[in-house]
Structure 1
Amino acid sequence: MRSRATRVVIGLVMALVALFTYFTNTQENPVTGEKQHISMTPEQEVQLGLESVPQMAREFGGLYPDEKVQQSVKRVGEKIVNATSVKTSPYKFDFHVLADDKIVNAFAVPGGQIFITAALLDKLKSEDQLAGVLGHEITHVVGRHSAEQIAQQQLTQGLAGAAAVATEDPNSPGRSSAIAAYVANLIGLKYGRDDEIESDQLGVRWMIESGYKPEAMIEVMEILKAAGGPNRPSEFMSSHPDPDNRIERIKEAIAKYKGK
């Protein structure tokens, strides 16, 4: 009994430390005005992003070899950055086409490094659609979504560790850790969905402000829906909201920002 009580006390202390660290690291986002729990500085995000570029390229078959294609994507991305309040952010944006012609994807890493695969680029039919993809990813950067995710992972890992210590059953080692990790992953999924919705909506804003047709964002959703095929995972268990649901939110954003 004494051993069990000791484990519970240690677990509670670990949980309190994790919670205190998370909630005391609060910063206001200069672009969105949102208060966020983030432990990294913008400078650290930029450095992390720059260091990740070579590894990201290797994971997707390297950079696409056609320099004209690379420059055309950079031109669209830079147009969005320079025409909007994104240019006031502390991030250093750069845009890369990855050589992978099978995986349909685009993503951003902290600090301004943005990637699109050749497979997705090949499916886009207009510069407006490309602007929709890049505007979405730009928002992930200025929204500091990766930095938030890192802080959330640190919190959930701390809580999972605390739960494992407090509830470990000597007769079934590892079971409580697995359960705690599963709960932590479910918590993380909610933030991912919220980030995607915010990126769609602010992406629409950046498109309008930089002279692109925001309806092209809806076309992008249709492309992603088709690429996913009929066996897409349910929205609840996915880090990305269902494309049909996203389309409705995009329409709302178009009406909102076109009316300004």
Structure 2
Amino acid sequence: MERIERHACFGGQQEVWKHASTSLGCEMRLGVYLPPQATQRRLPVLYWLSGLTCNEQNFITKAGAQRYAAEHGVILVAPDTSPRGPGIADADGYDLGQGAGFYVDATQAPWASHFRMHDYVTRELPALVEAHFRTTDARAISGHSMGGHGALVAALRNPGRYRSVSAFSPIVAPTQVPWGQKAFSAYLGDDHEAWKAWDAHELVAGASERLPLLVDQGEADEFLVTQLRPLLLQDACDAAGHPLELRMRPGYDHSYYFIATFIGEHIAHHARALVD
């Protein structure tokens, strides 16, 4: 781990670190916000997964989350969205390849050797963070769009690992929408049954842990009908008896203006679960 940025922010420090990832076989960067309480005691961690085209900078510069993390005493960790660099597979367009890891573990060439973002986010990254910073063993996870999909899937596939989960504008049923179908075809191959293991609305039916899902969705989101389809998750949760709070927000779109408006509520939600 090598720190490459450090900025005073709301009494704490917004840092950016880089490290060599064993899961992904490349150098990765991550934003880490250490609130002022981090100098006094161990703190819980909220992991944030960003969406298509993003890197570690989008959330830490646009969401305004540090203010609320400082208020509640929560460390924020925001990794990049995919492996990057020379020799790593890429594709034309914004929705596949570098910047579009989709938080799955790819099984198909040429992606399988590097695109293992689920393993990175759920296993390697927490171990790294907990070894280098003064943390408790309490974790939460959240994200936006592609990252909202990643957060929901990470929580549903790993019972007991997270105390809470939330998402903004998540892709809740990637097996049924163009973004997910394109990515899953490339990363996972043609077996559509295998895709279901990476689809939140499919996973709730067999979830062994009833961890409540918190989802905020803007009603003016340009991707609402074609790519996001939150009512599919609502239907699946209703059928399975899985707790879901789906909050439809009139007038809000897919942007970080939406995230910045409600991020304080999400961090408060996570803080209640994270602090013993």
Q: Report if TM-score (shorter chain) is over 0.5.
A: no
More helix by share: 1
Greater Cα radius of gyration, structure 1 or 2: 1
- Whichever structure has more strand as a proportion of its residues is 2
TM-score, length of structure 2 as denominator length: 0.30
